[in-house]
Chain A
Amino acid sequence: MPENRLSGPLAVAVSCLSILLALLIWQILATQGVLGKNFPGSVKTLEELVWWLSDPFFNNGPNDLGIGTNLLISLRRVLIGYGLAVVVAVPLGLVMGISRIADASLNPFVQLLKPVSPLAWLPIGLFIFRDSELTGVFVIFISSIWPTLINTAFGVSSINPDFLRVSRSLGASQLRTIHKVVLPAVMPNILAGMRISMGTAWLVIVAAEMLLGSGIGYFIWNEWNNLSLPNIFVAIIVIGFAGLLLDQVFGWLQKRFDYQL
């Protein structure tokens, strides 16, 4: 991070100013018709945003949910799928980092499956679960498992060997060494992996939900069918803020638990 970064009230002021400027340019482009006829300006979008936020949790049937309700549906899917992914990825990553055999046998799957778009799993999920809710969770699980898994395994394999030698020289059992030395040593890598995984999960859920029938992603798809572009911008802003908040949580966790920081 550069030393000469702006900070404090000045940074806030500059940020606010640049946002205002962007909104202004957006409004001008829209009213001039540069982006196509009837393209919503920033004023219209902000009006809609205020309207949606004034009553975020209404429920008038599956195609007319408040934006907060939709957001909570998406968040629930993400947290369940992501939670399961972490619960699987951390122990598996530890095993891959510790055992060369486990590494050699699991690595082909990781390498092969990691670059696959999570959406490719949608039909598989729908076929297996016959349920959009479970399919959403499944897709989140399979897309967010990789960064945590890879980071954990990498962290274990790059532990300072002196820590392990100290533990071994004291006569510590393998289990104790893993619990007391390996796990805390890898904590920064695990958290970094979890942060990337959370980002991926939040990216994927929007796309997945367009095909699933509820959640913030479906909201966008629904508003596209209604040809309501301002509402889509509202959803984009809400998704952005939710993602930012989730990432901030991890920023805080890393500050708290990363001994290198």
Chain B
Amino acid sequence: MPPAMISSPATAAAVRTFPDAQVVVEAVSKVFQSERSLLSRLRSRPGDRYVALEGVDLAIEKNTFVSIIGPSGCGKSTLLNLIAGLDRPSSGQILVDGERIKGPGPDRGIIFQNYALMPWLTALANVEYAVETACPKLSHGQARERARQYLSMVGLERSMHRYPKQMSGGMKQRVAIARALSINPTILLMDEPFGALDALTRAYLQEEVLRIWENNRITVVLITHSIEEALLLSDKIVLMSRGPAARIADVIDLPPLRPRQRSVIDQHPDFLAIKIRLEEHLLNETRAVEERT
């Protein structure tokens, strides 16, 4: 993998190295510093440091579906937050479309694990808030129309006037998907979006996401700890090592089999081989984490 060999490249070099890459993560580290008390600051004692990510290099091509998978607590979500611009890397840089990101932007839509719907707004109003915020030039009517259109796309045209507490987990996540896509992002970032759902709802929503993505292929970065999910959805699987100081262990390209059926994962020999490889890696990493303590 070329990304792993880059030590301290300049922006221009990165763009030259990955001409097709839409997202370039370059030598990114993230250190969390616990807050120090006044006393320990006066004594200039260092606070507790936690190195979440260290030297992460990653290039994501335009309009591909990339899953990031790793043992729990490995900093997958941290990496996603950095790409989203919700958090800043301690060192290194992240480029989107060749530009260094300075913060969050409507070019990146985000889906959170816990839906993060505003409970005082209806499904429609939740999506509308996103459209009106990201596209202030639209009139109120146009924004509402767009919100309706995206809620219909996820099959919620009849429930759009419901409040989140009146909806099931699956419905709430569909609203969140509609909200993230309604701002027409070029990149969709998903942070374990199906983790809180029961197995059947999860399977249904995975296929919904697949269907929507087949119709409108944009770049997707999915954080997951489910091997099946990664195999079903992705073009490419990024394998992370355990934390602290997590890094990218491997990047696996999946056979370009689209549209992909769920049965393929269990029958296609290439998929089966990858599945075994992933299981082995995750099990080893998890064992190391569990036996450390």
The distance in angstroms between the C-alpha atoms of A168 and B110, with both chains bound, is 11
Contact residues in A for B121 (Cβ distance below 8 Å) = 184
How many residues of chain A are within 8 Å of chain B by beta carbon? 19
Judge whether A165 and B116 touch: CB under 8 Å. Answer: yes
B134 contacts partner chain A, Cβ-Cβ < 8 Å: yes
**Of the residues A167, A170, A181, contact of B183 by C-beta under 8 Å:** A170
Cβ-based interface call for B104 (8 A): yes
Residues of chain B within 8 A (CB-CB) of A259 are 119-120, 163, 165
With a cutoff of 8 Å between Cβ atoms, the chain A residues found around residue B86 in the complex are 165, 168-169
The residue in A162, A165, A171, A185 that gathers the most chain B C-beta atoms within 10 A of its C-beta is A171
- B46 adjacent to chain A (CB < 8 Å): no
Q: B247 contacts the other chain (Cβ, under 8 Å)?
A: no
Bound complex: CA A22 to CA B105 (Å): 67
Please give the distance in Å from B162's CB to the nearest CB on chain A. 13
Contacts of B7 in A (CB 8 A): none
Size range of the chain B interface in the assembly? 20 to 34
> Residue-by-residue, is A163-176 near B (CB-CB < 8 Å gives 1, otherwise 0)?
10111111110001
A170 to B129, CA, bound (A): 9
A162-B112, A176-B133, A180-B129 given as contacts; is B104 within 8 A of A169 (CB)? yes
Q: Measured between C-beta atoms, what is the minimum distance from B38 to chain A in Å?
A: 11
* B104, A160: Cβ atoms closer than 8 Å: no
Residue numbers in A under 8 Å from B106 (CB-CB): 170-171
CB-CB nearest in chain B for A168:
B104
- Asked if residues B134 and A170 are in contact (CB atoms below 8 Å), the reply is yes
Does B130 contact A170, Cβ atoms closer than 8 Å?
A: yes
Query: Which chain A residues lie closer than 8 Å to B163 at the CB level?
Result: 259
- In this complex, the member of A162, A166, A169 whose beta carbon has the largest number of chain B beta carbons within 10 angstroms is A169
B118 within 8 A of A: yes
Q: Does A54 contact B (CB under 8 A)?
A: no
Query: Could you write out 20 A-B pairs with CB less than 8 Å apart?
Result: A162-B112, A162-B116, A163-B118, A165-B110, A165-B112, A165-B116, A166-B118, A167-B133, A168-B86, A169-B85, A169-B86, A169-B104, A169-B110, A170-B106, A170-B129, A170-B133, A170-B183, A171-B105, A172-B133, A184-B118
Chain A positions within 8 Å of B, measured between CB atoms, are 160, 162-163, 165-172, 176, 180-181, 184-185, 187, 259-260
Q: A163-B118, A169-B104, A170-B106 are in contact. List 11 more A-B contacts (CB 8 A).
A: A160-B116, A162-B116, A163-B116, A166-B118, A169-B110, A170-B129, A171-B105, A171-B106, A180-B133, A185-B118, A187-B120
